[in-house]
Structure 1
Amino acid sequence: MSVFLAIVLLSLNVGRSGGAIKPVVTFTPNWGNILYLDDVTLTCDVPSTAPEEPRTYHWYKDKRPIPGDQQTLHIIESLGRDSGDYQCQTIGGDISDPVFLNVTERYVLLQRLPSLIYEGDPLTLRCHHHRFCKAINPKFYKDDQEIKPSGSDSTFHIPNITRSQSGRYKCTKQIQPCYTPNVQELSDESFISVKELFSPPEIKVPPSRVIEGDEMTVRCDTRLDPLRGGTKLHFAFYKDGWTVRGYDVSDTYRVPSSQLEDSGKYTCEVRTRSDTVRKRSDGLYIQIYELFSSPQIKVPPSRVIEGGEMMVRCDTRRDPLRGGTELHFAFYRDGRTVRGYDVSDTYRVPSSQLEDSGKYTCAVRMTSDTVRKMSDGIYIQIYELFSPLKIKVTPSRVIERDEMTVRCDTRLDPLRGGTELHFAFYRDGRTVRGYDVSDTYRVPSSQLENSGNYTCEVRTRSDTVRKRSDGLYIQIYELFSPPEIKVTPSRVIKGGEMTVRCDTRLDPLRGGTVLHFAFYRDGRTVRGYDVSDTYRVPSSQPEDSGNYTCEVRMRSDSVRKMSDELYIQIHELFSPPEIKVTPSRVIEGDEMTVRCDTRLDPLRGGTELHFAFCRDGRTVRGYNVSDTYRVPSSQLEDSGNYTCEVRTASDTVRKMSDGLYIQIHDYKMQNIIRLGISGFVLSAAVCFIYFHNKW
């Protein structure tokens, strides 16, 4: 089947009369004009959509029936009378449209397709000559301009014709007619008009005013030639030169929810499926109007002070044609949501705080969320109602018993100078003074326990703003250091002078302060308050040993401190004396030596001691450096209770030994006892020998 036939079948208009289908008449070969004596076959083509069944055909020429009941009609060696309009019909079907066959009596004929030529169609021209003539050197011209030089090919082909190629076409051939040997150049010409397949496309958009969020329909409007109504066209759409939808059979580009960025210069392009014809529309600028204007953050008052109410408004204007559209508003600070979507365009902070400062933005959207807009950011500064607090103390160096003034320093915003503030003070996290209008905490007589980390807190009367200061460590310095007992010498020996000192250090700034000192032993006063820090014992005795403490106070007794205890031991200068006698059994006439035994303290080994001896309370030898009392020949009357006494040369230490009874034994009695004992022993020995021998 020829190309022409294929196009005819694609562009077939199917007419129905009682359910019949209109056939189409085609030529083989497919030329609408032929030379006399040429053969041609006419075919009655029925579209393939008809049921496959045997058919009977009827043929007509110039609307009159002609012989033939087959699908094809053969014309052999056509003549001029065979020219005319041919139609065919099946039984029960519609009659076809007429197709004109032109039989010409000449030697050269420019043949073309029998149907109309549309842009995009292939065009084939044939320079045909009479079958009984010889011909050479065919040439083709358009509007008298040669378009194909001479050669052996008698056809000229344009694969994809355009409307600009409409014009007067001519072909020439050198012909030698059969009746003469002469060669002559003959020609034929025909005007070929290329019809428009479809009109130039035009962009159309309803509605005429598109508001963001609306569905926008952009249509690429064109009209196909009625005889080619079945041609498939493809459409593409562009915005500002960029493709927004590629080729598709739909002539419509839809934007379900148009946005401002969809505004632009739109064009569309139409082409055939085979892309043999392509046309682009003129541009049409489509403006997408705002449903509502870009939101803008507004905040009254212009200066927001902490504790005050802050109102942030998301300001926008609706399109007058859409005034009833419900909008939802959301607010953000530094990119974080502070209030989600709501119909109110205002975000309220009843009592603004410093942490409410930040970059605020708002977003507006439709209920359906098809349109959403974000405002530019605006930095909102929450100004302090009063400045950060600072602890200040007077004096800068506080010494115990001083009056200490702690001040909570702050400055009110000039626009809020009349605001009443309340102040509270804390030490180490515990309240030392509750809220009060005074910014000062006073300690009339500071003590060491008033030292600590001080903070203060300030709040408004309504408690909408509250601030706490950083901590300040306040040290209460001692007027004088805790007293410490010191003793001289470090080892006190009985009889020696003992000096006990209550050691303390006055603060350098208070060096002229008069202190009074008191001393205690085992909790009992040994010396009352006096300006001297020293307690002296000229001759210490063992009973002076004990736990010593001292107490220091100011003259006004506003500061008083007690030392830790110190145990002071009074060591013996020499040990208690002890009577010793040699020999241990003294017999009348023996020399008897009585010794007063004692040990000096090692640190006082050079101390001179004097010794005296008594018998039965009476002095038998007065004080002397010798610790020994000798009786060269003891008598019975020397028996008695002996004691000795030791003292230092200065008599500051004196000690008496315990008594020792010394018995002087009688010499005669001693001999009698000795003889008696000897006789008893001898008698016992004799008896033992006698009885032993007898047994």
Structure 2
Amino acid sequence: MTFPMYKPQEVRRVRTSALLTEAQSLLDTSTMSTFIIIIFLSLMMGKSGGSIRPVVTFTPNWGNILQGDDVTLTCELPSSVPWKPQTYQWYKDGETIHGDKQILRIDSSAERDRGDYQCRINTSDISDPVNLNVTDRHVLLQRRPSAIYEGDPLTLRCHHNKDFIGFQTRFYKNNEEIKSEFPDSEFRIQKVDLNTSGHYKCSKEITSPGRSEYHELSDEFSLSVKELFSPPKIKITSDWVIEGDEMMVRCDTRLDPLRGGTELHFAFYRDGRTVRGYNVSDTYRVQSSQLEDSGNYTCEVKTVSDTVRKMSDGLYIQIYKLFSPPEIKVTPSRVIEGDEMTVRCDTRLDPLRGGTELHFAFYRDGRTVRGYNVSDTYRVRSSQLEDSGNYTCEVRTASDTVRKMSDGFYIQIYGRVILQRPPSAIYEGDSLTLRCHHHRRLYNAKNTKFYKDDQEIKSSETDSTFHIPNITMSQSGLYKCTKQIQRSRVQEHSDVSFISVKEIFSPPEIKVTPSRIIEGDEMTVRCDTRLDPLRGGTELHFAFYRDGRTVRGYNVSDTYRVRDGRTVRGYNVSDTYRVRSSQLEDSGNYTCEVRTVSDTVRKMSDGLYIQIHELFSPPEIKVTPSRVIEGDEMTVRCDTRLDPLRGGTELQFAFYRDGRTVRGYNVSDTYRVRSSQLEDSGKYTCEVRTRSDTVWKMSDGFYIQIHDYTVQNIIRLVISGFVLSAAVCFIYFHNK
């Protein structure tokens, strides 16, 4: 018999192929389960020795070396394999080579040592090939021989021939310099990622011993960083999850087969919050999912050393209702004592789960009135007043995986006498009618009485109503009524009903714009109030008063404006009340009154004092010099002071003598007479106004006397002669 000859790697392929063929034959038979097939394959792999595979490593750990470099190859088994005496076999390029020890040394390597190296220990499977590249060059860029994965540390070495001396070393990535160092010839990255991939190059200055000139030589290669595991994706076992179902969320990723032993940890998040911390399981389970488990799910995967971590995209998972939130429904809608009352817990099952059995329980004021039962209905044959209360119901599945509580529903059991009132809200100014109504069983009831806050307010033998034509807020209170049964002294009482009279509009407030008003300004006074939103269509009328006197009668506008002498109502101008802009006399205590168009409600605001400030002070006449003689230059000034906040206001001045104009309006506050004459004497006044003529003021009169020049000279000569005579006499008597 002739046996085919195989190389070691071919032997492994034949064994694996035989195992797969045998497994395939099992898969073709319907009687063998998947579980048994997996066990069978494991046993067959164990018999072939395929489960134990050694690894070849280099020391130093470079996959490419220069001629003349030394390298040591080591054949190692995983640390978990028990130790026993070993025999080793080495292979190069698939052929057996000399060497039966764990370590294979290559001293002063040559190009003939280049190739793929493998080893076998005892009867183990042969190792994967590891390539050793021996190069005849002066400078070599070295890297480790095995594949580089994201998260790995990386060292590149710019190695030179040992017969030369190396100097400055530079490293480049994609033609950009990333390191320049001397004498360090290595470039290190603690933790690589996919972006580390690229074209790397190193250059080194080298020289021969004893020579001064040097040469810069380089080497380069492309480096590809492999993905350790694929970006994770959220996957869910079922596209349609109903509350109460078990939900399984998986964080799906694929490890690179050559790093299949890497331990990964998985964490899960919902709407950014952790629902399960890091764990070796890639699955997050919810035994009984609830509506609150709905959300945007993400997962994160990391290595146990945390050198690589990746986050999935979000996947929104919707948990659908098994049944709708229950609601309390009562029949009849109005229950009178003695009536049969039916309370139903109303809910709707998801059509896809229509066969699910539900149980129902009922509560009144938090206490159980009927425990869990398959019936959704609670019946009271003859309801009594004490059956009144806040009813709720709870629904659950038979397995109790889902349960829901209804909102409360107050059921009032009415007595045989009831106090009827309008269903809508009651506002001040409304009319209100109350009716004391009795059940048809009390056909002989009579003598109706009404009470407010336990005080009787009406009693009648025949009239069962109580009417308030124009209600006020003070009439809010607790109302009830009674009826007396004919031929007995028994009185039937209605329940107490609280009647709250709402405010139709708030008490008005005076508001003024601007907050500081200077005479001549436009002033806006507003009567501020707020209508209840439910009565927003009510028409209100407003009136304004100053110091108790009307300044504007009732109008639909809530605003009183003083502008250019006219009262402005809303957006329409009315000439009813005229004020020439705001003047000092517009100061005062302002109030406003609001009323409904029917005048059923009216309210007065508190007072607000509004001060109109002076734009400029009342002018005064000032003259220079204080004594004017005919022929003198006379200056008359109209003196006033502007409010500092209105310093830029332009004023105009006019001057009058004895009521006649001596100078018309001008921006100058001064009137000059170059050579005053006796006829310039008189009573002077001046008037100041703004350019817009909204404010003007007149000074008091000031009499200016122009003195006669001749009389003055005679007086001066007499006085001078007297003074001269006195001086001569004094000198004479002093010398004598």
Instruction: Tell me the TM-score normalized by structure 2.
Output: 0.52
Distance 1:362 1:203 in 2: 38
Aligned-partner residue type, residue 263 of structure 2: K
How has the CA–CA distance of structure 1 residues 413 and 344 changed in structure 2, closer, same or farther, with 3 Å as cutoff? farther
State whether structure 2 residue 366 is matched by structure 1 residue 343.
Answer: no
How has the CA–CA distance of structure 1 residues 319 and 19 changed in structure 2, closer, same or farther, with 3 Å as cutoff? same
How has the CA–CA distance of structure 1 residues 142 and 253 changed in structure 2, closer, same or farther, with 3 Å as cutoff? same
Could you say which residue in structure 2 is the equivalent of 1:121?
152
Match of 1:89 among 106, 120, 125: 120
Aligned-partner residue type, residue 413 of structure 2: I
Distance 1:421 1:202 in 2: 80
Specify the SS of the correspondent of 1:128: strand
Question: How far is the alpha carbon of 1:178 from its aligned partner?
Answer: 5.3
Aligned-partner residue type, residue 364 of structure 1: V
State whether structure 2 residue 326 is matched by structure 1 residue 303.
Answer: no
Structure-to-structure mapping, 1:446-461, within 5 angstroms: 456=490
Deviations 1:410-460 (A, max 9, x none): x9955x41467899xxxxxxxxxxxxx98325xxxxxxxxxxxxx7498xx
Distance 1:343 1:179 in 2: 104
Distance 1:248 1:262 in 2: 20
Could you say which residue in structure 2 is the equivalent of 1:440?
487
Structure-to-structure mapping, 1:197-276, within 5 angstroms: 197-276=228-307
Aligned-partner residue type, residue 486 of structure 2: D
Could you say which residue in structure 1 is the equivalent of 2:410?
379
State whether structure 2 residue 224 is matched by structure 1 residue 193.
Answer: yes
State whether structure 2 residue 197 is matched by structure 1 residue 174.
Answer: no
How has the CA–CA distance of structure 1 residues 421 and 158 changed in structure 2, closer, same or farther, with 3 Å as cutoff? farther
Specify the SS of the correspondent of 1:172: strand
Aligned-partner residue type, residue 194 of structure 1: V
Could you say which residue in structure 1 is the equivalent of 2:316?
285
Distance 2:347 2:341 in 1: 19
Aligned-partner residue type, residue 18 of structure 1: S
Specify the SS of the correspondent of 2:417: coil
Q: How many residues align?
A: 400
State whether structure 2 residue 170 is matched by structure 1 residue 139.
Answer: yes
How has the CA–CA distance of structure 1 residues 421 and 71 changed in structure 2, closer, same or farther, with 3 Å as cutoff? farther
Distance 1:38 1:341 in 2: 86
How has the CA–CA distance of structure 1 residues 109 and 438 changed in structure 2, closer, same or farther, with 3 Å as cutoff? closer
How has the CA–CA distance of structure 1 residues 61 and 276 changed in structure 2, closer, same or farther, with 3 Å as cutoff? same
Deviations 1:549-598 (A, max 9, x none): xxxxxxxxxxxxxxxxxxxxxxxxxxxxxxxxxxxxxxxxxxxxxxxxxx
Could you say which residue in structure 2 is the equivalent of 1:56?
87
How has the CA–CA distance of structure 1 residues 421 and 355 changed in structure 2, closer, same or farther, with 3 Å as cutoff? farther
Compare 172-181 and 294-303 and name the one that shifted more: 172-181
Match of 1:417 among 401, 422, 440: 440
Aligned-partner residue type, residue 339 of structure 1: R
State whether structure 2 residue 68 is matched by structure 1 residue 45.
Answer: no
Larger Rg belongs to: 1
Could you say which residue in structure 2 is the equivalent of 1:18?
48
Could you say which residue in structure 2 is the equivalent of 1:323?
354
Question: How far is the alpha carbon of 1:140 from its aligned partner?
Answer: 0.9
Kindly indicate whether the alpha-carbon contact (under 8 Å) linking 1:84 and 1:102 is maintained by their aligned counterparts in 2.
yes
Kindly indicate whether the alpha-carbon contact (under 8 Å) linking 1:169 and 1:189 is maintained by their aligned counterparts in 2.
yes
Question: How far is the alpha carbon of 1:371 from its aligned partner?
Answer: 0.7
Question: How far is the alpha carbon of 1:19 from its aligned partner?
Answer: 3.6
Could you say which residue in structure 1 is the equivalent of 2:343?
312
How has the CA–CA distance of structure 1 residues 333 and 191 changed in structure 2, closer, same or farther, with 3 Å as cutoff? same
Question: How far is the alpha carbon of 1:134 from its aligned partner?
Answer: 0.2
Distance 1:438 1:74 in 2: 123
Kindly indicate whether the alpha-carbon contact (under 8 Å) linking 1:123 and 1:157 is maintained by their aligned counterparts in 2.
yes
Question: How far is the alpha carbon of 1:138 from its aligned partner?
Answer: 1.1
Distance 1:324 1:184 in 2: 88
Match of 1:152 among 155, 174, 183: 183
How has the CA–CA distance of structure 1 residues 203 and 97 changed in structure 2, closer, same or farther, with 3 Å as cutoff? same
Question: How far is the alpha carbon of 1:120 from its aligned partner?
Answer: 0.6
Matched-pair identity in %: 65
Kindly indicate whether the alpha-carbon contact (under 8 Å) linking 2:155 and 2:188 is maintained by their aligned counterparts in 1.
yes
Instruction: Tell me the TM-score normalized by structure 1.
Output: 0.55
Aligned-partner residue type, residue 54 of structure 1: P
Aligned-partner residue type, residue 440 of structure 1: R
Could you say which residue in structure 1 is the equivalent of 2:3?
none
Distance 1:419 1:148 in 2: 106
- List runs of 5+ in structure 1 lacking aligned partners: 1-12, 389-410, 424-436, 442-454, 459-465, 468-695
Deviations 1:612-645 (A, max 9, x none): xxxxxxxxxxxxxxxxxxxxxxxxxxxxxxxxxx
Kindly indicate whether the alpha-carbon contact (under 8 Å) linking 2:384 and 2:413 is maintained by their aligned counterparts in 1.
yes
Could you say which residue in structure 2 is the equivalent of 1:355?
386
Question: How far is the alpha carbon of 1:357 from its aligned partner?
Answer: 1.3
Distance 2:444 2:314 in 1: 71
Aligned-partner residue type, residue 179 of structure 2: K
Kindly indicate whether the alpha-carbon contact (under 8 Å) linking 1:16 and 1:94 is maintained by their aligned counterparts in 2.
no
Question: How far is the alpha carbon of 1:182 from its aligned partner?
Answer: 2.6
